[in-house]
């Protein structure tokens, strides 16, 4: 298993084509708008080597008969499904944001059972590839969402709005199109492309699942902007070390050799894949989002102490309500995992109804927690001067009387970051649209 340092070093070996703010980035790892999201992924590697968290982060792979990071692991039983949620909650509480590795994990499990249904050739290719991913402890970009364009049209009517096979050669396929909202794409080693929806007869070119290196010729990534992203890494960031990341990924005639093409035109297996992935990832939100909410509740709680209102009954009621909403989401994720069923391929699936109910609540309850956090934080969350003003030798003492000490200022910045700053993209808006819009 890679250490965090080995993960960072491995990213530097790539020849990734990434654009940020209209410019090609020489080394993504060192870019101030990218680095916080790299740090969040690195935490998934670091926890596998920390004695305090190793039990959460490491599992035994029967495929390669070795310990693997849980983010490369197959769900062999219900305990693996629930262990994923506990790991995600711990990571969400540590980073306060999206750590980006779950889409690949949920994708590889969904592909394991979908390729099994497709047949021994497809499954054999996939398992051979997965063994390599586990051995090298790779970060996968699970690439599912197509741009779609006019939703009233089927993919063949607007092919440019979907990733598709444009050429079949004896030794592989050529892909063209794009995937959008790609979590952690620029921090990954490989892209695992999957269809984003169930497809009909005549739409076989869109039913493709395949893996390719992030720096394969023809792949271009463009980083999505986030509110206040120019603050990243600086004193007003709110979350100094960690951040999320979403990219547009363009595929301009990208060749993928046959051994990494897992599904090509098998509509039934593609439908199985989409369905299984949606279940896994909707349950995943019962892990990471409660972890992020822990951070927000903690910040709000500390601010009420700073404000001297912690003991007021209406404040206690609000903190209890925030906790109740958070644990509702977590409980549903755990319930979907604990009511799992075994697929004939040997991996376990979550309960689809409970996973969908979990995601349904995720589109609503965190918004209420944010509202209560903004209530408890007070108006200064939106009007506080910069930390540079607080540090100014002449202004500082006068501002401290008005704003309070450095602890209060940092807590306000953290609530701002998660409510409507750069952290709101992977936290709040992702609650609405991640793992499938409501």
420 in catalytic set: no
Q: What DSSP line would sit under 117-145, residue for residue?
A: HH-HHHHHHHHHHHHHHHHHT--EEEE--
Choice between 107 and 434, CB closer to Fe ion: 434
CA angle 326–327–329, rounded 5-degree value: 70
Site for ligand SF4 in 135-164 (CB under 6 A): none
Given ligand SF4, Fe ion, none, residue 272, with its beta carbon under 5 to 8 Å by kind, binds none
Name beta bridge partners: 18: 221
CA-to-CA distance for 204 and 198, rounded, in angstroms? 11
Return the number of the residue (69 or 183) whose C-beta is nearest ligand SF4. 183
Site residues for ligand SF4, 47-106, by CB under 6 A, read 98-100, 102-103
183 is an active site residue: yes
State the minimum distance, in angstroms, from the CB of residue 125 to ligand SF4.
Answer: 25
Concerning whether 285 is annotated as a catalytic residue, the answer is yes
Q: Which is nearer to ligand SF4, 116 or 280 (CB)?
A: 280
Active-site pick, 72, 141, 247, 288: 288
Rounded Cα–Cα distance for residues 372 and 5 (Å):
38
| Active-site annotation holds for 102 | yes
Q: Closest distance between ligand SF4 and the C-beta of residue 129, in Å?
A: 21
Strand partners, 190: 140, 213
Task: Say which of 138, 203, 374, 430 is annotated catalytic.
Answer: 430
Segment (H or E) for 91: helix 78-95
3-state DSSP call for residue 176?
strand
Catalytic residue among 117, 138, 203, 246: 246
Q: Which of 95, 285, 326, 343 is catalytic?
A: 285
Of residues 240 through 259, those in contact with ligand SF4 by CB under 6 A are none
- Cα 429–431–435 angle (5° rounding)? 110
Interactions with ligand SF4, residue window 272-331 (CB under 6 A): 284-285, 288
Shortest Å distance, C-beta 100 to ligand SF4: 5
Say how far apart CA 268 and CA 264 lie, in whole Å: 11
Ordered DSSP codes for 248-303: EEEEEEEEEEGGGEEEES-HHHHHHHHHHHHHHHHHHHHHHHHHHHHHHHHHHHHH
Active-site residue among 7, 97, 98, 417? 98
By CB under 6 A, what part of segment 180-199 binds ligand SF4? 183
**Active-site residue flag, 361:** no
The single residue of 82, 95, 183, 304 carrying the catalytic annotation is: 183
Query: How near is the Cβ of 234 to ligand SF4 at its closest, in Å?
Result: 23
Nearer to ligand SF4, 64 or 93 (CB): 93
Distance CA 106, CA 389 (A): 45
Asked whether 207 and 265 are in contact (CB, 8 A), the reply is yes
Residue identified by tokens 């690195």 is: 42
Query: What's 428's DSSP letter?
Result: I
Q: Does 430 bind ligand SF4 (CB under 6 A)?
A: yes
Active site residue 358: no
Enzyme catalytic residues = 98, 102, 183, 246, 281, 285, 288, 430
**Interacting residues with ligand SF4 (CB under 6 A):** 98-100, 102-103, 183, 284-285, 288, 430, 434
């Amino acid at each position: 298993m890679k250490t965090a340092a080995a993960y960072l070093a491995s990213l530097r070996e790539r020849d990734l084509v990434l654009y940020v703010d209209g410019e090609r980035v020489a080394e993504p790892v060192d870019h101030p708008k990218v680095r916080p999201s790299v740090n969040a992924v690195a935490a998934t590697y670091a926890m596998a080597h920390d004695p305090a968290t190793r039990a959460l982060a490491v599992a035994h792979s029967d495929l390669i008969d070795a310990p693997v990071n849980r983010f490369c692991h197959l769900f062999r039983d219900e305990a693996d499904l629930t262990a994923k949620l506990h790991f995600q909650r711990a990571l969400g509480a540590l980073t306060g944001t999206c750590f980006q590795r779950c889409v690949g994990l949920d994708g590889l499990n969904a592909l394991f059972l979908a390729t099994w249904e497709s047949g021994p050739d497809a499954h054999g290719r996939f398992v051979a590839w997965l063994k390599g991913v586990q051995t090298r402890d790779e970060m996968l970009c699970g690439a599912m969402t197509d741009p779609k364009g006019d939703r009233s049209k089927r993919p063949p009517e607007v092919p440019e709005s979907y990733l598709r096979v444009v050429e079949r050669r004896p030794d592989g396929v050529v892909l063209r199109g794009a995937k959008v909202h790609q979590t952690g794409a620029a921090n990954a080693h490989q892209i695992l492309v999957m269809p984003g929806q169930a497809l009909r007869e005549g739409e076989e070119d869109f039913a493709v699942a395949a893996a390719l290196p992030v720096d394969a010729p023809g792949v271009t990534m463009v980083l999505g902007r986030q509110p206040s992203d120019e603050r990243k890494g600086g004193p007003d960031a709110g979350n100094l070390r960690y951040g999320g990341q979403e990219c547009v990924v363009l595929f301009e005639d990208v060749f993928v050799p046959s051994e990494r093409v897992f599904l090509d035109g098998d509509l039934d297996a593609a439908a199985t894949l989409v369905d299984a992935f949606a279940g896994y990832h909707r349950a995943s939100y019962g892990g990471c989002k409660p972890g992020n909410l822990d951070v927000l509740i903690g910040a709000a709680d500390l601010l009420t102490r700073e404000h001297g209102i912690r003991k007021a009954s209406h404040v206690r009621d609000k903190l209890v309500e925030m906790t109740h909403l958070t644990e509702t989401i977590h409980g549903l994720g755990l319930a979907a995992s604990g009511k799992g069923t075994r697929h004939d391929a040997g991996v376990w699936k979550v309960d689809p109804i409970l996973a969908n109910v979990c995601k349904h609540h995720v589109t609503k309850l965190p918004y209420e927690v944010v509202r209560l956090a903004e209530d408890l934080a007070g108006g200064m969350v939106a009007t506080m001067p910069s930390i540079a003003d607080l540090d100014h030798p002449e202004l500082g003492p006068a501002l401290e009387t008005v704003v309070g000490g450095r602890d209060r200022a940092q807590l306000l910045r953290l609530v701002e970051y998660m409510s409507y700053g750069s952290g709101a993209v992977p936290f709040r808006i992702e609650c609405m649209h991640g793992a499938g819009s409501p």
